[in-house]
Amino acid sequence: MVRLICFLLIFGLFLAFIVLNLDNSCDINFGFYQFEKAPVSIMALASFFLGLLFAVPVTLVVRGKRQPKEPKQKKEKPEKKKKSSGTNQDETSNEIGPYGID
């Protein structure tokens, strides 16, 4: 229900934008054809939809090139070495780790 209300509000904003800008017009030249006195709001909506139209194939091509992910295998934890009871610090530092954190 909330999504419907949000959609209607956004649709109302677009409709208000179009109605308020019907008097504004512009000329658009494609090189081989020229639109004269085209409403700005219609051109804005047309450019938005053309952008969507061109973005969909690009998105599909990018998704198609992705390699499927391999299923993650459980990583086995390395066996922890027991600390020696000796007082030699070199032996214990190698077993614990480079910073003394295990």
How many CB atoms are closer than 10 A to CB 28? Answer: 14
Residue pair 96/83 in contact (Cβ under 8 Å)? The answer is yes
User: Binning pLDDT at 50, 70 and 90, where does residue 9 land?
Assistant: very high
Spatial separation of the C-alpha atoms in residues 22 and 40, rounded to whole Å: 7
- Inform me whether the pLDDT recorded for 87 exceeds 60: no
- Is the model more confident about 93 or about 51? 51
Eight-state DSSP code of residue 32: S
- Inform me whether the pLDDT recorded for 65 exceeds 60: yes
pLDDT for position 86: 53
Percent of the chain's residues with pLDDT above 70: 65
